[in-house]
Amino acid sequence: MAGYTDAARLIDGDTLRAVRLAIGGDLGSFSPPPDPDPALVDVVDRPFESVEDAADRLSRLESRLRERGDRRAVFLTIYARMTREVHDGIEGGIFRDPTWMRRYVIAFANHYRRAFLAFERGELERVPDPWRIAFATAVRGDALVVQDAVLGVNAHINYDLALAIDEIGMDPNRADKHADHRAINGILARLVDVQQDALAEIYAAGIDDVDAAFGRLDEAFTLLSMTEGREQAWRIATVLTDVHVPPIASYARWVLWATATGGAFFALGPRLDPTLRRTLHAVESEGTDLDTAVELIRTRLEESAATSDAPRR
């Protein structure tokens, strides 16, 4: 069965690196806010019921976070847009199995919602480790904006996605569902590219050539590419679906945790030249506040949506 084949492919060089980082990492400094914000809790305290409901409430949550200067808004800027574009794609008939895609998007969004709600309420035992790192880092506000973006993408794709697919099932017609899963890659890749270009535009105020400084911006902080992460999520979901041997299922879940948690620690690691890091922090603190950065990203995303072709299977 495919699950046994995929189980043998879950570990590679990047995954081993993530495992080492996850095992050696310390979660003790990643703490929730001292008190939950009722206005934030109100947006996420009940499950999303439809793709449109998820898109609307994710956008509302992003706005409320921006009003508070909370950098958890950075990831939501792209995630709310992605959810809206997938909704439009479903309604536009670009997916082979639109009913499954609706369940896919809702389940995926509810994993984020539950993690956010638990963190906001201080229920750390219910917060997956990759989200604990991402949320706490954003709340502290001491990382770069690009790191806040990467940490959110890492937790949602490298941790939540496999669990969401396993939750809704990949059968029958698995090939069609896999094709639909892959069809989102094009939408997400474009949105991530636009976000990274906007962030590079911000950092260009302090650096003459961002690309020359550290190459593609997000790759300086990412162990797995977005496409690699989404394929790994499908492999893990396949193992959880096909293999009914408890030790192998536990192994797959452990790889899922280690990959995403290690990826979070990698994103925070000191790989940038210290002078360059200080320059980037100076650009953010002196020339660009959170609202300005998020508004630029949103503007560039809207411009991209207006000029791009509809995604195709």
Dihedral angle sign, alpha carbons of residues 122, 126, 129, 130: negative
Q: What is the pLDDT of residue 261?
A: 98
pLDDT digits (tens, 9 = 90+) for 266-305: 999 876 778 877 888 888 887 677 888 899 999 999 998 8
Buried b (16+ CB within 10 A) or exposed e, 149-170: bbbbbbbbbbbbbbbbbbebeb
Q: Taking the model in full, what pTM does it have?
A: 0.93
226-242 and 246-268 helices cross at what angle (nearest 10)? 160
What is the predicted pLDDT for the residue at 123? 98
Specify whether the CB–CB gap between 176 and 96 falls below 8 A: yes
Distance of alpha carbon 259 from alpha carbon 255, whole angstroms: 6
User: Cα 74 from chain centroid?
Assistant: 11
86 with 51: CB under 8 angstroms? yes
| 194-235 pLDDT tens trace | 988 888 888 877 776 666 655 555 566 787 888 899 999 999
> Comparing C-alpha atoms, which of 99, 302, 114, 279 is closest to residue 191?
302
Residue 308 CA: distances (Å) to CA of 105, 218, 235, 301, 305: 22, 22, 30, 10, 5
